[in-house]
Amino acid sequence: MSLKAGDIITFERTFTVRDVELFTEISGDEGNHHITPDEQGRLVIQGLLTATLPTKVGGDHNVLARTMNFEFIRPVFTGDTIMCEVQIDQYERQENNRTALMALFSCKNQHEKEVLKGAFSGIIL
C-alpha cells in the first residue's frame, strides 16, 4: 500500500493478562497496578504497551521512527479493546530517495473514550 498525506490507517487490539505479563517481563515495569488486579479483576496496561498500537501501524509500513510523542489520557485495563487511528499528516520524497512522513494518532477504548494520543515522524526504508 502506498501512503499519502490524508490517509487514515486503523488497528484494533484487545489486551490480555498474558500481554501484561510478557511486557512486565521484558520491560521490568512491575508497578503494583500492573501485577495486582483491581476490584474488578483487571490489571492496568503499561502505557508503553498501549503505545505499541501506533508503532505497529508504523512498522507495517516500514517506518523508521525519528520522533514519537505520547500523551497518556486515561488508563487501559486488561480486557479493553483499543482502536488506534493513525492519520498521515505529511508525506514527501526526499533527495536521498527516502520518504519522510509525519503522522498523528488517537487511541480510543471500546467506550469511545480517548486513552492515548500523539504524533510520530520518521522515514520509510
Domains of the chain, first to last? 8-14+45-124 (3.10.129.10)
pLDDT band per the 50, 70, 90 thresholds, residue 1: low
Rama region for 50: left / alpha / beta (φ>0; ψ in -120 to 50; rest):
alpha
DSSP 45-85: PPHHHHTHHHHHHHHHTTEEEEEEEEEE-S--BTT-EEEEE
Is-contact 17 23, C-beta < 8 A?
A: no
pLDDT digits (tens, 9 = 90+) for 61-87: 889 999 999 999 999 999 999 999 999
With a cut of 70, say whether residue 120 has pLDDT above it.
yes
The span from the first CA to the last CA of the chain, in angstroms, equals 14
> What is the pLDDT averaged over residues 101-116?
97
With a cut of 80, say whether residue 2 has pLDDT above it.
no
> What is the pLDDT averaged over residues 103-114?
98
pLDDT digits (tens, 9 = 90+) for 29-67: 888 888 999 999 999 999 999 999 999 888 888 899 999
Is-contact 67 10, C-beta < 8 A?
A: no
Q: What is the pTM of this model?
A: 0.90
Give the closest residue to 119 by CA, choosing from 81, 79, 88: 88
With a cut of 90, say whether residue 16 has pLDDT above it.
yes
Kind and range of the H or E run holding 19? helix 17-27
